[in-house]
Structure 1
Amino acid sequence: MTRQLTELVAERTDAARDTAPRLMADVVSAALRTPVEMRATGDTDVSLPDPVRESLTQLCAGLPVVGVAPASQPSPLSTPTTRRVARRFPTPSMRGKNEDPMSTFHPDLKRGRFIPNVSYGRLSSRLVRSVKWRATDPGPDVTVQEIVVPGPKGAPSVSLRVFQPTGLKTAAPALLWVHGGGLIFGAPEQDDRTNIAFARELGITVAAVRYRLGPDHPAPAAVEDAYAALRGLVERASDLRIDIERIAIGGASAGGGIAAALALLAHDRAEIRPAFQLLLYSMLDDRTTTRTDLDTLKVRVWTPKSNRYGWSSYLGDAVAGPHVSPYSAAARREDLTGLPPAWIGVGTLDLFHDEDVEYARRLSDSGVLCDLDVVPGAFHGFDLVFPKAEVSREFWRRQARALKGAL
């Protein structure tokens, strides 16, 4: 297996960096294609030789991250836009079951139809976890530090990557950010560029939590780590110059699901009240794993099979059953009254589209101010895969405006 991966990386290392997502997909595909060879050789360890690991690390570090404009571009908040945030709550689905998937992609995202539908399982997720994300230099306008706060009772301490505008002297708003990764992989460093951009453009503190992952750490480990991080920010508000009345929580994909669950947990414990929820194509409902109507020809990046593995890694045998806690899957909550205002963004070709639209509708029906931003023809993580596309830039600008308005 390692020989195949070495050859694969060597073949692709010199390719342009905008092909890095396809490289990672090919690497994972190679891992999935080799179980027979692994059983024959007795090699069931997906650890990689140093040259392969280094190549993958460099390529992952070069992956574009959500909505980051090149340094030469003007401030995204100063760029005019005619796109309005949509407040729509259509049901049951905005996706036509009989549509040709080749014709449903957003014009800026047409190349997305060539992204292979790679699904993650035990071996491939371990392979992805073995890649260490390289931190991004924030430049002179933003500082970064790693802090450690007490963890949940009986659990290890929790670390956060904290980004702040250089020279911050007075208390400012903050965003607690939760990275994605299907509850099974990922790290705060993968969103460094986005978090740097938020800190620089909005003048806020952004703290990205490093939480425990499944299946080694099942529910409720992730949300409890996020709560410990939120509590730690409040306890250290003075030395971090954070206005505790203006702390937002947010995340993408699994991170968005954890952030939504954190809003519920914080509401119920009544110790800390977040000011806002920023939820990007969020993993909210484990019951989606039971759906058989999802068109796998149209969804990209995160497939139904990956979704089943991610949820089962976190919830175990309880997945899709009657006893799943809302602190693990926020859509399980029946009463959503009293939660912080929210912004929810998702594409029509995203596996999480329907559950996100439904959650936004339920928040609104419960009296919670919620802006729903549906991007036609966009797939899961589209802004990460094609960050230079205008639809991706606009998506980030609307996130930034929502945060600015809320904080």
Structure 2
Amino acid sequence: MNADARPPFDPELEPALAMFRGPTPITLTRDAIPTLREAMVVPSLAQQLPDLDLESHDVTIPGYRVDDIRVTVIRRRGSTGSGLGIYNVHGGGMIFGTPLSAIGRVAGWIEQHDAVVVSVEYRLAPEFPDPYPVEDTYAGLVWTANNAHQLGIDPSRLLIVGGSAGGGLAAGAVLLARDRGGPALAGQLLISPMLDDRDQTLSTRQIDGVGVWDRPSNVVGWTALLGDRKSTDDVSIYSAPGRATDLSGLPPTYIDCGSAEVFRDEDIAFAERIWAAGGQAELHVWAGGFHGFDTVPNPRVSKAARAARDTWVNRVLNR
């Protein structure tokens, strides 16, 4: 096998690679984390979604160790909710991002289903290493479930959604909920989730110095979170859900990723272990997709990925 072989990027996505890379190098270094955070200004709701009349407010809640964290509640202006709740966990490699990062991924369900979104501002590594991010995420999930009726959410219609690092944190929070007797969920939707710190898959070797969020960047993110524990036996399944061997007792799960991204193989393995445990998982690997390709508006593969998620959400809600 050619050591440099990798799946090609979709031709319609190629022009977007320069936009994703922006002013920073393809490969992230730990020293570049502050600069990256400063460069990544997240637009407001109105700037991101000018065609939707949305309102939001922040709530301070107890996070890990009862420290204050923030959640942002988003809904259509004047709405009291239809019962559907989306608990949203943003991405950012465990080291950057805000509750409004890539919020467009869930905005369609606000419009289609009059959903209420609760987006959590978990604390970021390396300043707040493991288990802060996953425990903050779980704390926000518990708060959302406990306050569901006041928020206009039916507790039986609560979905957790996470992309990239947020997908890994969402999966970890669901495992915590299973093992602690926490909130029951209608489903978990994991978008290119960051699940495994061990850096052992073929897809990590293929995406090294190319694409978006390549192998060395991924190592930086996991090392910021775990420090010297990365790739050792001293890492919990809640922090790196790809390590979990028993994935029984999970809600219906949707996983998608691109064929040309670091997380491909760990995402496939996670779905396989859900099936092995007798659970329900739907998996899509989109040909030619790099990490985050679904946020590029016009390529046909991006539209197909977003449509498939919509179809799954509709099915989960109408069981």
Above 0.5 in TM-score? Answer: yes
In structure 2, the residue matched to 1:92 is none
Q: CA deviation at 1:197?
A: 2.3
Normalised to the residue count of structure 1, the TM-score between the two structures is 0.71
State the alpha-carbon separation in 2 of the partners of residues 351 and 127 from structure 1: 23
Aligned residue in 2 for 1:36:
none
Q: Name 1:129's counterpart in structure 2.
A: 37
1:18-64 alpha-carbon deviations (Å, 9 max, x no partner): xxxxxxxxxxxxxxxxxxxxxxxxxxxxxxxxxxxxxxxxxxxxxxx
For 1:326 and 1:100, the matched residues in 2 are separated by 31
How many angstroms apart in 2 are the aligned matches of 1:195 and 1:257?
17
C-alpha contact (below 8 Å) 1:142/1:200 kept by paired residues: no
Q: For 1:232, give the aligned amino acid.
A: W
Residue 337 (structure 1) aligned to one of 248, 254, 264:
248
Q: Is the 8 A contact 1:173 1:204 kept in 2?
A: yes
Please say if residues 182 and 310 of structure 1, whose CA atoms lie closer than 8 Å, have aligned partners that are also in contact.
Answer: yes
Question: For the residues of structure 2 that align with 1:185 and 1:143, how far apart are their CA atoms?
Answer: 24
Spell out, residue by residue over 1:285-315, the C-alpha distance to the aligned partner (whole angstroms, 9 max, x if none): 0012687971246841111111111001101
The alignment status of 1:404 with 2:314, answered yes or no, reads yes
Cα 1:98–1:104 change in 2 (3 A) is farther
Return the alpha-carbon distance in structure 2 between the equivalents of residues 135 and 236 of structure 1: 25
Contact 1:284 1:329 in 2 (8 A): yes
Matches within 5 A, 1:253-402: 253-288=164-199, 294-296=205-207, 299-384=210-295, 386-402=296-312
Could you tell me which runs of 5 or more consecutive residues in structure 1 were left unpaired when the two chains were aligned.
1-95
Q: Which amino acid aligns with 1:133?
A: V
Q: How does 1:75-154 map to 2 (within 5 A)?
A: 97=2, 104-111=8-15, 118-131=26-39, 132-137=41-46, 138=49, 141-154=52-65
Q: Which residue of 2 aligns with 1:196?
A: 107
Secondary structure at the residue paired with 2:65?
A: coil
CA distance in 1, matches of 2:5, 2:235: 36
The structure richer in helix per residue is 1
Name the SS of the counterpart of 1:247 in structure 2: strand
Q: What is the rounded CA distance, in whole Å, between the counterparts of 1:311 and 1:155 in structure 2?
A: 25
**1:322–1:98 distance in 2 versus 1, CA, 3 Å:** closer
Indicate the SS of the match to 2:310. helix
Cα 1:171–1:308 shift into 2, 3 Å: same
Aligned residue type for 2:305: F
**Whole-angstrom CA distance in 1 between matches of 2:52 and 2:203:** 48
SS for the counterpart of 2:14 is: helix
Contact 2:203 2:263 in 1 (8 A): no
Structure 1 position 317, deviation (Å):
0.7
Amino acid at match of 1:148: V
Shift of residue 186, structure 1, vs aligned partner: 0.9
User: TM-score scaled by structure 2?
Assistant: 0.89
Q: Secondary structure at the match of 2:45?
A: coil
Following superposition, the deviation at residue 148 of structure 1 comes to 1.8
Contact 1:347 1:377 in 2 (8 A): yes
Deviation at 1:97, TM superposition (A): 4.7
Aligned pair 1:235/2:146, yes or no? yes
Following TM superposition, by how much is the alpha carbon of 1:274 offset from its aligned partner in structure 2, in angstroms?
A: 1.6
Greater displacement, 288-297 / 365-374: 288-297
CA distance in 2, matches of 1:230, 1:162: 13
Q: Which moved more, 1:128-137 or 1:366-375?
A: 128-137
Q: CA deviation at 1:361?
A: 0.7
Alpha-carbon separation, structure 2, partners of 1:110 and 1:233: 39
**Aligned to 1:190, what secondary structure does the other structure show?**
coil
- Report the aligned-residue RMSD: 2.4
